[in-house]
């Protein structure tokens, strides 16, 4: 289920509408086209990207229509009456093919293919990029955290630091990437995710003593008593008061679930706290760490300092996708009227791949991801013997006889999504199953091995022929 029920066809960049009016008035409105969505670089210097946002995009696409209020607004922006009459009945009725949400994907491969008339495919560009780029960024960040923490539990605590209502989609993406719960109650309800949260320092400060605050909280939440122990002094007050209360509650058959450390030297404090709790006979009380954590801090806490932390609360850096502000996803025309099209550039890395394409994953003899192949839609993957480097075609890989898998499936047609309802945690389970098939060298934290994505010989030839035509028909020499 998506949010923002008032999202309409106005959720686009204005140039999409000005182009759409141009197509309409030039007699192109029924011209059939194909667009590809892909990104150019993995975020965070990662070895792969987690694809997320598909379900939200398709849900919002079903709301992408124009009300009379929208038409009135666009009339004031100078759009023609004839075009506005066309928009009154607008609905995206094209076809969308996509890889599965939660799939591991790589740069420059067509993740989503959109087919339809040129106006409808153009108008949805901004919505598609907005949702898929953002959620894929956050899901990738979250999965980096999951890998850095050796799959320890962590929760999304990022609402207060997120970019406005983007927090809702960000919390969903964080759970796709590995967060086991979210503090964002609205997101938890919308997307059927576990919700998590205990107390802030203000709770402790509102009582005369820390012990009194702990007792009151345990009384009101006996099944989920998690105590924030750093309001005054973690080792001299917070942990000792936890132990006092734990002994009191033992008589009532109540157990303290965990303590949370939110400041100070987390490695030092966690180890000291663990020793104190164990010595008092409370080795079952877990230790949660929070406070400006990211995958780098978590990795050094666990790997370098042997911190006694059982789980984490992750806020700002995950929910904002720090240090990358955005995923550089793009949406490019690849076919019009059955004829392949491409964007030309003197920089060969930015030359787009023409034609309607399919994405195929090849597996090695051990059943692991080996290569991804970009083929023309008309090609049979079983008949492809070689994949060529898209920039340096003298480099190629033999994939003859290898097991392969088509990654695209039809997910939307005639105004309706074909996706079955699935929770973010279920999508994460699929991500984990795919990650298990990705060789470890691509999951390295630093300088991961580059996963190879190649193109078929026919696609290579198609690109070269079109490139020559572009040069001949333009001033480029």
Q: Which residues contact 123 (CB under 8 A, 6 or more apart)?
A: 9, 12, 16, 17, 20, 64, 90, 92
Closest Cα to residue 187, out of 206, 169, 200, 205?
169
Element (H, E) at 417: strand 416-417
Q: Are 117 and 86 in contact (CB under 8 A)?
A: no
Does residue 246 sit in helix, strand or coil?
Answer: helix
Torsion sign over Cα 439, 442, 448, 449: positive
> In Å, what is the CA distance from 372 to each residue of 375, 390, 435?
10, 12, 15
What is the distance between the alpha carbons of residues 433 and 407, in angstroms, rounded to a whole number?
A: 15
Q: Please give the pLDDT value at position 471.
A: 73
What gap in Å lies between CA 57 and CA 35, rounded to an integer?
Answer: 16
Token pair 């924030």 is at which residue?
228
Q: Which CATH architecture has domain 139-319?
A: Alpha-Beta Barrel (3.20)
pLDDT tens digits for 240-272? 999 999 999 999 999 999 999 999 999 999 999
Phi first, then psi, for residue 193 (nearest 5°) are -120, 150
Quick one: tokens of 43? Answer: 């975020």
Pairing of strands 453-455, 369-376: parallel
Coil, strand or helix: which one is 58? helix
Task: Please compute, for residue 272, the number of CA atoms within 13 A of its CA located in the half-sphere on the CB side.
Answer: 16
φ and ψ of 247, to 5 deg: -65, -40
- From the number of C-beta atoms within 10 Å of its C-beta (0-12, 13-18, 19+), residue 421 rates as exposed
Tell me: the pLDDT tens digits for 129-140?
Answer: 999 999 999 999
Question: The tokens of 414 are what?
Answer: 């005639």
Answer for the pair 163, 326: CB distance below 8 angstroms, yes or no. no
Name the residue ranges covered by the structural domains of the chain.
139-319
**DSSP code for 347:** S
Q: Which helix (H) or strand (E) holds 376?
A: strand 369-376
Contact 361, 48 (CB under 8 A): no
pLDDT recorded at residue 351 = 83
Give me the pLDDT at residue 406, please.
98
Residue with token string 């009945």: 89
> How buried is residue 416: exposed, middle or buried, by Cβ count under 10 Å (0-12/13-18/19+)?
exposed
Instruction: Give dist(CA 148, CA 145) in Å, integer.
Output: 5
Residue spans of the chain under pLDDT 70: 1-5, 474-477
Rounded CA-CA distance 168/4 in Å is 10
Give the C-alpha separation, 55 to 112, whole Å: 13
**Furthest CA-CA distance within the chain:** 87
Helix and strand numbers (H, E) in the chain are 16, 21
């Amino acid at each position: 289920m998506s949010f923002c029920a008032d999202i309409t066809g106005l959720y686009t960049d204005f140039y999409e509408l000005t182009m759409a009016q141009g197509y309409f008035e030039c007699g192109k409105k029924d011209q059939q086209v194909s667009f590809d969505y892909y990104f150019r670089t993995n975020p965070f210097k990662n070895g792969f990207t987690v694809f997320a946002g598909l379900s939200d995009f398709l849900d919002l696409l079903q709301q992408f229509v124009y009300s009379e209020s929208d038409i009135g607004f666009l009339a004031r922006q100078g759009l023609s009456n004839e075009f506005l009459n066309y928009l009154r009945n607008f609905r995206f009725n094209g076809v969308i093919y996509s890889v599965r949400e939660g799939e591991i994907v790589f740069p420059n491969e067509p993740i989503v293919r959109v087919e339809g008339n040129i106006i409808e495919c153009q108008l949805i560009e901004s919505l598609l990029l907005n949702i898929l780029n953002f959620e894929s960024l956050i899901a990738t960040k979250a999965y980096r955290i999951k890998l850095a923490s050796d799959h320890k539990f962590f929760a999304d605590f990022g609402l207060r630091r997120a970019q406005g209502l983007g927090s809702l989609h960000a919390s969903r993406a964080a759970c796709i990437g590995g967060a086991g719960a979210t503090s964002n109650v609205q997101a938890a309800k919308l997307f059927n995710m576990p919700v998590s949260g205990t107390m802030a320092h203000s709770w402790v400060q509102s009582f005369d003593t820390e012990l009194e605050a702990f007792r009151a909280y345990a009384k009101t939440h006996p099944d989920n008593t998690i105590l924030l122990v750093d309001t005054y002094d973690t080792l001299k007050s917070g942990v000792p008061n936890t132990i006092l209360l734990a002994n009191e509650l033992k008589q009532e058959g109540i157990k303290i679930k965990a303590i949370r450390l939110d400041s100070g030297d987390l490695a030092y404090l966690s180890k000291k706290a663990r020793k104190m709790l164990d010595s008092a006979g409370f080795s079952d009380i877990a230790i949660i760490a929070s406070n400006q954590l990211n995958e780098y801090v978590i990795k050094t806490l666990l790997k370098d300092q042997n911190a006694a932390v059982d789980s984490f609360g992750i806020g700002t850096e995950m929910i904002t996708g720090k240090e990358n502000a955005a995923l550089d996803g793009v949406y490019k025309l690849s076919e019009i009227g059955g004829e392949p099209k491409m964007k030309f550039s003197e920089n060969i890395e930015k030359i787009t791949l023409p034609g309607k394409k399919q994405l195929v994953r090849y597996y090695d003899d051990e059943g692991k991801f080996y290569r991804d192949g970009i083929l023309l839609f008309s090609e049979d993957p079983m008949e492809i013997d070689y994949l060529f480097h898209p920039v340096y075609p003298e480099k190629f890989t033999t994939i003859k006889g290898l097991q392969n898998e088509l990654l695209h499936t039809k997910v939307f047609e005639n105004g309706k999504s074909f996706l079955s309802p699935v929770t973010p945690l279920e999508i994460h389970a699929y991500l984990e199953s795919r990650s298990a098939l990705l060789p470890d060298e691509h999951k390295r934290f630093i300088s991961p091995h580059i996963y190879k994505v190649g193109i078929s010989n026919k696609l290579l030839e198609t690109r070269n022929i079109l490139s020559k035509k572009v040069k001949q028909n333009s001033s480029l020499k």
